[in-house]
Amino acid sequence: MQSSAIIKGLLFNYLRKIKTPITHRLISIIICARTNSISDEQRANIEATIGASYEVVVIDNSKNELTIFEAYNIGVEKSKGDILCFMHDDIFFHTQKWGIKVKSYFDDPKIGAVGVAGSPYATKMPGSWWAGDLVDQQLLTNKTGALTLATKFHDDEEADFKSVVVLDGIWLCIRKSLFEQISFDNETFKGYHFYDIDICLQIVQLNYQMYCVFNIKIEHISEGNVNEQWIKNALALQRKWKNLLPTQSITLTKNEKRLAEFKTLKEFTQILIANNYSEKDSYKLAVKEILRNGFSILSYKGYIFFLLKYIKSITN
C-alpha cells in the first residue's frame, strides 16, 4: 500500500509538470474604424468563422482625430483578451475556426506575433517591407471579380508557417503580455503607416519569434497607399532602428542581402518621384542613404558595387 501511494505521488508530480495546451484564451479583435462602427457584414463574418471565445473592440475614428498608433493603444487598454488581433475594417475571413488556429500558435511561449503577410528580412535602407522580394504571404484578393488566392513563399518551399521579422498590419495578432514592454509609438510616427513594422521590431528586440501563417485565408477589400506621410514614417523608422537594422530570421548570403537592399532603395526612389519629389531630390536622398548606411551592410567592394549599380539603374 505504501509503495502504491509513493508511485501515485510521483505520477501526480510528473503530470503536474507536463505543459498542457491553454484552452481558455479570449481573443480581442481590435479595429480602428473609419466610421463609428464596423459593418454588420464584417461583424457577422467574424462571428461565423472564428470558432473561439472573442470580443470586438472598435475604436471610432470617424472624425479622423486619431492616428493608427493612438487608436491601437486605446484598443490595447480596452481589451480583455490575452491575444490581441489588430485588423483592418475591410477584411473578411474564409477559414472556419481560425481562432482555434491562432490560439494553437500562441501555445508556444516563444511566439510573439502571427500574421498572413511579412518578410524574414528587414532592410537597412528605407522603404516597404515587400520591396526586397523576400515575401511570405497568403491573401485573397478580388481584383477581377473573382477571389484569387495570392500565396508567396520567400524560398519557394511550401509550409504551414514561415519565421519572419516583420508582419503586415492588415491582420496582426500579438501576445498581450508583451504590451507591458511595447506600445504603438505615437511620438515618433504620425498618420497610419509603419505602425506594424515598428511594433514587430519591438517584438524582435524582445527576442520573440513571429510567424507568417498559411492556414488562415483572409480577403482584403482595399489597397493601401504610399503618400507623403508614408515616406516620412519610412525615414523615421530607419532612423529609430538604425542600430537594429538589418535584421533577419533566415540565413542569407551577402549577395542576397545586397539585392534586397538594392530593390528596396530603388522602389523607395520611385515612390518619392510618384509623390512629386523631383528626380534630382529623389536620387540625392537615395544616394545619401547609401553613403550613410552602406558600410554597415556591405564590404568596401560591395559598397562601391552597390552605389554604381544604383546610379546605373536610375540613368537607364
Residue 87 and residue 201 share a domain: yes
Q: State pLDDT tens for residues 163-183.
A: 999 999 999 999 999 999 999
CATH code of the domain in which 131 resides: 3.90.550.10
Quick check: is 243 in a domain? Answer: no
Residue 191 and residue 57 share a domain: yes
Residue 46: pLDDT over 50: yes
Give me the pLDDT at residue 143, please: 75
Give me the pLDDT at residue 71, please: 97
65: which 3 cell numbers? 482625430
Q: State pLDDT tens for residues 3-41.
A: 554 444 444 344 334 433 433 489 999 999 998 899 999
Total domains, the chain: 2
- The domain boundary residue, chosen from 198, 232, 266: 232
Quick check: is 10 in a domain? Answer: no
pTM: 0.87
Give residue 268's domain range: 251-315
Residue 28 and residue 75 share a domain: yes
Q: State pLDDT tens for residues 51-69.
A: 999 999 999 999 999 999 9
Residue 167 and residue 78 share a domain: yes
Spell 212-227 as b/e; 16+ CB within 10 A means b: bbbebbbbbeeeeebe
Residue showing cell 516563444: 110
| pLDDT bracket for residue 89 (50, 70, 90) | very high
Residue 286 and residue 225 share a domain: no
Quick check: is 7 in a domain? Answer: no
Packing angle, helices 195-205 and 68-78, rounded to 10: 60
Residue 217 and residue 302 share a domain: no
Residue 240: pLDDT over 50: yes
Residue 256 and residue 223 share a domain: no
Residue 133 and residue 195 share a domain: yes
Residue 152 and residue 87 share a domain: yes
- The domain boundary residue, chosen from 205, 232, 259: 232
Quick check: is 4 in a domain? Answer: no
Quick check: is 105 in a domain? Answer: yes
Residue 209 and residue 115 share a domain: yes
Residue 255 and residue 228 share a domain: no
